[in-house]
Amino acid sequence: MDYSQFLSTVSAAREATPTRVTSELAAKMFSVIFFAGGMPNLDCLPMKNASITLRDGTMVEIGDELMKIALQYCPTEGIQTLLSWFEDLQMKLHNPPTANYTHEEGRMKICVTAGCQDGLSRVYEMLVNPGDSILLEEPNFPGTLSALRPLGCNIIRVPTDAHGIIPKALREILSKWKARNTHKRKMLKFLYTVPNGSNPSGSSLTTERKKEIYKLAQEYNFLIIEDDPYYFLHYEKTKAPTFLSMDVDGRVIRGDSFSKILSPGLRIGFLTGPAPLINKVIQHMQSSTMQTSTFTQVTVMQLLNKWGQKAFLEHTDRVAAFYKKQRDAMLAAADKWLKGLAEWYIPTAGLFLWIKIKGISDSYEMATKKAMERGVALLPGRGFMLDQSEPCPYVRVSFSLVSPDQMDQGFRTLAEIIREEQCENNGE
């Protein structure tokens, strides 16, 4: 694939920074006379070692020698040991066809980022020129919208339902777009999707829909950005294959996050995608953050090495089981108090319930003023829509932090507010 056609003008002009530490150079640091790096002398740095106690009482140790790595610069793409761990995980979970491709064919490559949002923001800037067209499922996470809007791109909304993007609607959109742009030599750059537990809707794409969407990407030649922060918070017995696992062309860039299963405070995630594109993200990082925190990488690396892949996946299963109980408790409270007043569908992954309030056109004042005054914090649906000036009857609620008793109390209060709103709208 010709990846140059997807690059923004700025990204195409980026080159590797010669002063950054490469993986090859890092491996030789202690075996050569190292005039090359402008690094601090470790004897001047105050920390010597560290230990972290896990919830089960076991310890994760960062000894004197490992602390030297944790305190120093590292290759921009990440510490090689951690990258290898992530590569093995991707092979086990997704087995990407691109793993054995050549660089030019889009061989799978991984780089560590300061969380999924950080990495994907760089991806958007790598791909988008002002005036470019992109496809975005609606509703969508406000952080994604705020990252894309300043880039001046033409955002085309793609409708969704309980099972995510609707392929038939996407095909109609693509057909109309192509008809309008036949003689303009324009191209769609990418489709952005959260395939599991979409924020805010909680929807998850089925296998068949993913296959249909991937075929459309091949037919209309656009990339797929698979943002999957809730992959490990899936509540069904089996997950649909990921776009990465069906990526025969090398057109998928996948973002993974550990914030929900390890800690958002660690600020670590990773991108997986075609090497020519991931290299451009790395070049961007070289001129900005330079790297993801080495101390964070070493901490996560020691934890993952202590666990091994099996124990790590057992941990993710325990986390998912906890949130599934939370989801079920919230659904029970919704059934008890909101039946007839609102509509929702059962989220199969993620942390959210996306509720459509009946009898009102817009939830903004109800959520930001009336509910808050009665001690209930909701997010109005407007913030998750491309046009935030349009009325929206939805609210987003999260079941991650609240207890079942709080869910019951909160939805009881919400039901009272909805009835009052409906009475006012009916002039009663």
Angle at 74 between CA 73 and CA 75, to 5 degrees: 135
384 vs 395: CA distance, rounded Å: 10
- Structure tokens that stand for 16 in this block: 């590797």
User: In this model, does residue 177 exceed pLDDT 80?
Assistant: yes
Q: Locate the DSSP E strands across 46-142.
A: 50-53, 59-62, 108-113, 133-138
Q: Is the pLDDT of residue 26 over 90?
A: no
Question: How much is the average pLDDT of 161-189?
Answer: 89
201 contacts 352 by C-beta, under 8 angstroms: yes
Share of the chain above pLDDT 70, in %: 95
Across 193-198, average pLDDT: 95
Average pLDDT over residues 138-148: 93
What is the pLDDT, as a whole number, of residue 187? 82
- pLDDT for position 288: 85
What is the average pLDDT across 178-198?
87
- Residue 398 has a pLDDT of 96
Distance of CA 244 to the CA centre of its chain: 14
- pLDDT of the residue at 385: 94
Please classify residue 15 by burial: count the beta carbons closer than 10 Å to its beta carbon, then call 0-12 exposed, 13-18 middle and 19+ buried.
Answer: exposed
**Residue type at 259?**
S
pLDDT value of position 392: 95
Task: Write the CB contacts of 150 (distance below 8 Å, at least 6 apart in sequence).
Answer: none
Q: What is the dihedral of CA 113, 119, 125, 131, to 10 degrees?
A: 180
Residue range 216-227: average pLDDT?
Answer: 97
Q: What is the pLDDT of residue 42?
A: 87
At 16 the pLDDT is 78
Cis peptide before 139 (omega within 30 of 0): yes
The 8-class DSSP code of residue 401 comes to S
27-59 pLDDT, tens digit each: 566 677 777 767 888 889 899 999 999 999 999
Tokens of 257: 């996050």
Determine the average pLDDT of the residues in 412-428. 86
Indicate if the pLDDT at residue 74 is higher than 60.
yes
- Total residue length of the chain: 428
Q: Inform me whether the pLDDT recorded for 184 exceeds 70.
A: no
Q: Kindly state the average pLDDT of the residues 107-126.
A: 94
Whether residue 21 is predicted with pLDDT greater than 70 in this model: the reply is: no
Each residue of 267-282: pLDDT tens digit?
899 999 999 999 999 9
Rg for the chain, CA atoms, rounded: 23
What is the three-class DSSP state of 127? helix
Residues 108-133 have a mean pLDDT of 94
pLDDT band at 186 (very low <50, low <70, confident <90, very high): confident
What is the separation of C-alpha 363 from the centre of its chain, rounded to a whole number of angstroms? 26
CA gap 295, 291 in Å, rounded: 11
Query: In the block, which residue shows the tokens 């003689």?
Result: 183
Q: What b/e readout covers 187-206, taking b as 16+ CB neighbours within 10 angstroms? A: ebbbbbbbbbbbbbbbbbbe
Question: Model confidence over 286-309: pLDDT tens digits?
Answer: 888 888 899 999 999 999 999 999
> How high does pLDDT run on average in the chain?
92
Tokens representing 376 are: 């209930």
CB of 201 within 8 A of CB of 160? yes
Per-residue pLDDT, 180: 86
Amino acid 318: pLDDT = 96
What percent of the chain stands above pLDDT 90?
81
pLDDT reading at 335 higher than 90: yes
Q: pLDDT for 350-402, tens place per residue?
A: 999 999 999 999 999 999 999 999 999 999 999 999 998 999 999 999 999 99
CA atoms of 84 and 133, how far apart (whole Å): 35
pLDDT band at 19 (very low <50, low <70, confident <90, very high): low
Contacts of 210 by beta carbon, 8 Å cutoff, 6+ apart: 195, 240, 241, 242, 243, 246
Give phi and psi for 343, each to the nearest 5: -130, 150
